Chains A and B, each alone.
Chain A
Amino acid sequence: MRKKMFRGKKYFIEALWEGLLKISGSVTSIIIILIVLFLFSEGMGIFKKKVVEDGYVIAVNKNNPVKDLSPEQIKNIFDVKIVSWKELGVNINEDEISLLRLDDIPNYFPEDQIAEDMSNLPQIISQILKEHPGMIAFIPEDFAKKGFSEKVLDLGNINLKEFFGGKEWFPTAQPAPQFGVIPIVMGTLWVSLGAILIALPFGIAVSIYSAELASKKVHKILKPVIELLAGIPSVVYGFFGLIVIVPLIQKVFNLDVGETGLAGSIVLAIMALPTIITIAEDALRSTPRAMKEASLALGANKWQTILKVTIPYSISGITAGVVLGIGRAIGETMAVLMVTGNAAVIPHTLLEPVRTIPATIAAELGEAPKGGAHYEALFVLGCILFIITLIINLVVEYISSKNKNKVA
């Protein structure tokens, strides 16, 4: 009787454990899915935002035939890079473009005639625009409603082509912010690729040495030292990079500026190494002793055994280490922010300053107004990063599964 009860109790505890594991597993999966959904739903809002800054409009003289301006054209007009309407293909009797911002109004109109509560501003702005046929004005929406007689341009929403094909990233530019992601995505890919190329040979070499060749004494020192690297905060790596690696690169390559993609790649490679080494080494060590001994008994030497037996057997573990290492490299923020210079230009070599996705998000999200176009643009950048990582994971999974079949 007592025995039976004991058994029942044991069974109950086992069931409880099983249930707990099931619940925690499903809760975790659901949370991850929710986070991804949140990321995408926040990001997609940007394509419903107007091209011009929220709450403002672009207005011109009533007789101005201009219909559509791209964000890039607007930026160049207000930066005085485009100075005549002809450059935009618009024929108008006053060809030179003049600009009107709210702060400029006193230059055109006696300040003491502006009403205290600014209620007559729509009329004043209309009058200034009427007198200057070539003028373009950037004014709050409220002043372009009642009593406003000139033309307000309908410039539409931010579209996919401008976002994914744009080459300029000026998220706070007025009147039209520029959200071209190409330079930032390219920067991320360049830096990550560089980091992988540096980390991979070193990581695999060290893991093979430490798992197969090193004496016990060396291994005992090497392993904790490498694992210690993983525990150093990334801002320390960043500072180390800024003070040591950046001037070094500047000197070695005789560059004008040392903050380059290469500096970022080196710092990231150092940061990815512990992950790659630890996991790859564990995989190499898990090769059954019998397999290695069989190889040696057939007359293969140590090197042949490593190359033909140990590495193929543990290839999936090695790739797992590499994927995790790359994942860390692509998503790393602080260290990169400090050493790559963060200039949003499309890089052509690793020896130019670059701006990466994580660095952009980290530097800008804190100050971007919640729910605004800038905020949502940063979420889209997060989505892009997510997709890049996903693709890399899938590719590596595919390769390692193929290799496994070959060994078997």
Chain B
Amino acid sequence: MKIKIFGFCLALFLLNLGVNAQKIKGSDSVLPLSQKQAEAYAKKGGRATVTGGGSGVGIAALIDGSTDIAQSSRKMKFGEKAKLVAKKKQIKEVVVAKDALAVVVNPSNKVSQLTRQQLEDIFTGKVTNWKQVGGSDLKIIVYSRETSSGTYEFFKEVVLKNKNYKSSVLSMPATGAIIQSIKQTKGAIGYVGLAYLNKEVKALKVSFDGKKYFAPTIETSKNGTYPIVRPLLYYYDIKKTKVVSPFINFVLSKQGQDIVRQVGYIPVK
């Protein structure tokens, strides 16, 4: 009996070695998407193991070759590209989905649209009262994610043009907490991922050119008119194209893109 079990285990072990599981590592924002994709992919007979750790961790792993695919919620940084050049590796970038950030306020707020400059002034502390941007006489309370979050960095880069937030920003540990706080604070403003939008908060229309304002919806994010959108990316070594392309093709297929929509991100196809 014991020998039988042992033999069975051994067989399983060998089987594992035989099937080439693809390793996917990186961003925690892309993690839920990749996991769902891997589950669906497994039903079709493929194998992929997904781990998180952050975009930086994933790309570092790709550079030293310990993962097949790096998932990332930001474009590769200059320093990372320099490391690749040093290692003489060529890497391919695939956009698998997009994520939009909605700027949200309390539903009782009269303001329904803001320009990028106004957003920058609010988040860096130049504008402190809603009446300065066309609302009622009410102090602006700014909510943000914690400094470690990728969402924090993305919003800072795109909307604040790399300037720092004002120091009196209230930072919340999770998106759910931001929504809860904005719901119960009249002068509040904050940002959340498109998937988290609900009726308890009001999403603002945003304009980057000062002329046309766009509401954050899946359509406007998909056709590129809504400006606060980030790509969710997969990076892989060109030499491994053969190994990884079945999985990436699956993610880009109709079924894969349906999963993207279910997870709350914006499909690219």
Binds A, one of B38-46, B96-104, B176-184, B261-269: B176-184
Please state if A367 and B167 are interface contacts (CB–CB under 8 Å): no
Please state if A367 and B79 are interface contacts (CB–CB under 8 Å): no
Give 9 A-B pairs besides A79-B164, A363-B171 with Cβ atoms closer than 8 angstroms.
Answer: A101-B162, A140-B79, A142-B82, A259-B170, A341-B170, A342-B146, A343-B168, A364-B147, A364-B148
Please state if A173 and B79 are interface contacts (CB–CB under 8 Å): no
B180 / chain A contacts, CB cutoff of 8 Å:
242-243
Q: Which residue in B152, B163, B168, B170 is a CB contact (below 8 Å) of A79?
A: B163
Q: How many residues of A contact B (CB 8 A)?
A: 44
B187 / chain A contacts, CB cutoff of 8 Å:
256-257
Interface assignment of B241: CB less than 8 Å from any CB of chain A: no
Instruction: Name the residue in B82, B149, B171, B188 with the highest tally of chain A Cβ atoms < 10 Å from its Cβ.
Output: B171
Given contacts A242-B177, A369-B56, contact A169 B167 (CB under 8 A): yes
Please state if B184 and A246 are interface contacts (CB–CB under 8 Å): yes
Please state if A256 and B185 are interface contacts (CB–CB under 8 Å): yes
Interface assignment of B243: CB less than 8 Å from any CB of chain A: no
Please state if B163 and A80 are interface contacts (CB–CB under 8 Å): yes
- C-alpha gap A170/B79 in the complex (Å): 22
Interface assignment of A376: CB less than 8 Å from any CB of chain B: no
Beta-carbon contacts of A265-279 to B below 8 Å, as 1s and 0s? 000000000000000
B93 / chain A contacts, CB cutoff of 8 Å:
none
State the Cβ distance, B14 to closest chain A Cβ, in Å.
Answer: 36
Please state if B56 and A343 are interface contacts (CB–CB under 8 Å): no
Interface assignment of A345: CB less than 8 Å from any CB of chain B: yes
B153 / chain A contacts, CB cutoff of 8 Å:
172
Please state if A171 and B185 are interface contacts (CB–CB under 8 Å): no
State the Cβ distance, A235 to closest chain B Cβ, in Å.
Answer: 10
Residues of chain A touching chain B, judged by Cβ–Cβ distance below 8 Å, are: 55, 75, 78-80, 101-103, 117-118, 140, 142, 168-174, 183, 242-243, 246-247, 250, 256-259, 337-338, 341-345, 353, 355, 363-364, 366-369
Given contacts A363-B171, A364-B146, A369-B56, contact A250 B185 (CB under 8 A): yes
State the Cβ distance, A239 to closest chain B Cβ, in Å.
Answer: 9
State the Cβ distance, B119 to closest chain A Cβ, in Å.
Answer: 15
- C-alpha gap A235/B173 in the complex (Å): 12
Residues of chain B touching chain A, judged by Cβ–Cβ distance below 8 Å, are: 54, 56, 78-79, 81-82, 85, 124, 138-139, 141, 146-149, 152-153, 162-164, 167-173, 177, 180-181, 184-188
Q: Can you list 9 contacts pairing A with B, beta carbon distance less than 8 Å?
A: A79-B164, A103-B78, A140-B78, A250-B184, A256-B186, A256-B187, A342-B170, A364-B147, A368-B148
Please state if B54 and A343 are interface contacts (CB–CB under 8 Å): no
B188 / chain A contacts, CB cutoff of 8 Å:
257
Given contacts A246-B184, A257-B185, A259-B181, contact A342 B171 (CB under 8 A): yes
Please state if A117 and B139 are interface contacts (CB–CB under 8 Å): no
Please state if A367 and B163 are interface contacts (CB–CB under 8 Å): no
B170 / chain A contacts, CB cutoff of 8 Å:
257, 259, 341-343, 353
Least CB separation from A142: chain B residue: B82
Please state if A367 and B78 are interface contacts (CB–CB under 8 Å): no
Please state if B162 and A174 are interface contacts (CB–CB under 8 Å): yes
Given contacts A172-B153, A258-B184, contact A140 B82 (CB under 8 A): yes
State the Cβ distance, B42 to closest chain A Cβ, in Å.
Answer: 29
- C-alpha gap A50/B164 in the complex (Å): 20
A101 / chain B contacts, CB cutoff of 8 Å:
162
State the Cβ distance, B123 to closest chain A Cβ, in Å.
Answer: 12
Least CB separation from A168: chain B residue: B167
A366 / chain B contacts, CB cutoff of 8 Å:
148
Q: Which residue in B124, B141, B148, B173 is a CB contact (below 8 Å) of A338?
A: B173
Please state if A344 and B167 are interface contacts (CB–CB under 8 Å): yes
Least CB separation from B185: chain A residue: A257
